[in-house]
Amino acid sequence: MELNYDVLIHILDVIDQADYYATLYACSLVNHTFNQAASRLLYRKVVLEPQWTSTIRLGRREQKLNGLFVSARLPHNAPHVVDLRIAGYLEDRPPPINTFPDLLCHALGQWTNLRSFTFAPLEYPDVLITQTLDSLPLCDSLRSLTVGSPCCSEDAAPLLVQVESLESLTIENPSRAILNIMPDWLNRLSGTLTTLRFRENCGSITPGVLRSFTPHMPNVHTFALGLSYSLTHDDVFSFLQNHSNLQSLELRYYLQLRKISTSLKLPRLRTLVVRHTHVSDKREASHLTKFIHRLSTHSPLESLHLVCDSSGLRLSTTAFDGLADHLGSRHADTLRVLYMPSNFLRLKAFRDLCVRCYRLEELAVAVQHDVLWDLPRLSEPLDRLYLVSLTFPHSKPNKTIVNADKVAELLVHGKRSLRRLAINHKQWEGYWSTSEDGSVKFFVQPVPPFRAPWER
């Protein structure tokens, strides 16, 4: 019996969601029908992101392309390309020695269904930026655009703002050149734009610049703002109170001793991401907790992510028990995802959090080592919990080594919904299956970090 194409694409979608690229590739070799269905998923995202290398290759002139990029330009594969990412350290030799700028512009013309484009190279020939941005207005299907700092220069910014009909716009390290013409561009995008993000170094965004965006964001429900020492918390809150329809918000927090005087109500806010540096003492933890409290008190928060940007530092042992109490008091009926792997909770605060926030499905937090062995009892009130990630700032690495048998014991004796357990960022997955003797048993296997084909 031959599977119908419409049925087959739904089956392969399940494989694609599990990131089984090797399986999709094998399916593409079965027959013509399988090849059509699998190719739609295999070529949906094309990435060219060369990593930095200290080796000097004097013989290389042109950009080295991966097989995915090359085969995606074939006429029968080009219509499948929906998402494109060009980043990393590209070959910086100029044309005509390096033909990649012309090649990319030609490829953009071939990929007629391209909807999402990330263009943030770290090393590149200068002509690549201007040629590529000049070609983007011809991409009629483009709806999501992410650009890096090279696209915000004095020469590149006027070309960038020619792109229209965008639904999502992300600018990394925005410069004064792009911010000066941003209000006019936002005005032309106001009918379609729903997502606006400014990330990384946003020092050029002043209170006046931020206020100039307000009239041109009537439909924006997702907003992100990076680090700007020119802005106080009151400046940011005054801006946000004019956008009560926000559903997702990402902010970069930095310590300010001045009290926040602006009241804020975001009645539709569901997702909050707060990025911060290493928290070293109780006072800093208190200020960060108050910041989150003022942001989310009047919001039906479903997901809270606290992301520590400081790398190479030992996990902080400063307790965020006040934050756990706030979540239990204000968001117990709505909170489903809590991701704060670098923020420590004492045992009592962790236990109270599990009791009060009974709708939690994903939980990542730093705790003391004893919590691991008592996890089945502590997580008993959480009927929907299926992923737990624990980190231990107080323990030595050799004390947190567990094997698959111990993980299986924790998962089996825990909630029936619990299927994934991560300990110090090493993850295991449990599942029921039939053993060789025909009996049904619970198995546990480590989950390797995912690597896409272009990263292998």
Which class for 140: exposed (0-12), middle (13-18), buried (19 or more C-beta within 10 A)? exposed
Residue with tokens 């939690």: 360
Whether residue 318 contacts residue 282, with contact meaning beta carbons closer than 8 Å, is answered with yes
Q: What integer pLDDT is reported at residue 40 of this predicted model?
A: 84
In this structure, the number of other CB atoms found within 10 A of the CB of residue 139 comes to 20
Tell whether omega for the bond before 218 is within 30 degrees of 0, i.e. cis: no
Tell me the C-alpha distance between 401 and 157, whole Å. Answer: 51
Tell me the C-alpha distance between 254 and 235, whole Å. Answer: 13
> Which amino acid type is present at position 192?
T
pLDDT of 443 > 70? The answer is yes
- Strand 440-447 relative to strand 426-434, pairing: antiparallel
Name the more confident of 415 and 239: 239
Tell me the C-alpha distance between 425 and 396, whole Å. Answer: 15
Tell me the C-alpha distance between 344 and 353, whole Å. Answer: 13
3-state SS of 354-386 is: HHHCCCCCEEEEECCCHHHHCHHHHCCCCCCCC
Whether residue 247 contacts residue 271, with contact meaning beta carbons closer than 8 Å, is answered with yes
> Which amino acid type is present at position 194?
T
Tell me the C-alpha distance between 297 and 306, whole Å. Answer: 16
Whether residue 316 contacts residue 343, with contact meaning beta carbons closer than 8 Å, is answered with yes
pLDDT in tens, 238-267: 999 999 999 999 999 999 988 888 889 999
Tell me the C-alpha distance between 118 and 344, whole Å. Answer: 35
Query: What 3-state class would DSSP assign to 116?
Result: strand
Whether residue 438 contacts residue 424, with contact meaning beta carbons closer than 8 Å, is answered with no
φ and ψ of 346, to 5 deg:
-70, 165
pLDDT in tens, 444-453: 888 776 666 5
- Residues 185, 186, 192, 197: is their CA dihedral positive or negative? positive
Tell me the C-alpha distance between 412 and 266, whole Å. Answer: 40
Q: What integer pLDDT is reported at residue 414 of this predicted model?
A: 58
* Residue from 49, 57, 126, 63 nearest 97 by CA: 63
Name the more confident of 395 and 165: 165
Residue with tokens 């295999």: 42
> Which amino acid type is present at position 124?
Y
pLDDT of 85 > 60? The answer is yes
Tell me the C-alpha distance between 345 and 23, whole Å. Answer: 41
Give the CA dihedral 308, 312, 318, 322, nearest 10 degrees: 10
pLDDT in tens, 140-157: 999 999 999 999 999 999
pLDDT in tens, 336-348: 999 999 999 999 9
* Residue from 193, 259, 200, 265 nearest 232 by CA: 259
- pLDDT confidence tier of residue 52, bands split at 50, 70 and 90: confident
Query: What 3-state class would DSSP assign to 339?
Result: strand
Domain range summary for the chain, segments of one domain joined by +: 270-456
Q: Which residues on adjacent β-strands are paired with residue 118?
A: 85, 146
| Averaged pLDDT score across all residues of the chain | 88
Tell me the C-alpha distance between 200 and 222, whole Å. Answer: 17
DSSP string, 163-228: --S-SEEEEES--HHHHHTHHHHHHHHTTT--EEEEEEE-TT--HHHHHHHGGG-TT--EEEEEE-
> Which amino acid type is present at position 269?
L
Q: What integer pLDDT is reported at residue 447 of this predicted model?
A: 79
pLDDT of 377 > 60? The answer is yes
DSSP helix, strand, coil percent of the chain (3-state; round to 5): 35, 20, 45
pLDDT in tens, 180-196: 999 999 999 999 999 99
pTM for this model (two decimals):
0.90
What ranges make up the beta strands (E) of 10-137? 45-48, 83-89, 116-123
Q: Which residues on adjacent β-strands are paired with residue 117?
A: 84, 145
Average of per-residue pLDDT across 313-330: 88
Average of per-residue pLDDT across 76-95: 92
Classify domain 270-456 at the CATH topology level.
3.80.10
Whether residue 378 contacts residue 371, with contact meaning beta carbons closer than 8 Å, is answered with yes
Q: How many helices (H) and strands (E) does the chain have?
A: 17, 16
Average of per-residue pLDDT across 111-128: 95
Q: What integer pLDDT is reported at residue 411 of this predicted model?
A: 78
Residue with tokens 């062995």: 373
pLDDT of 455 > 60? The answer is no
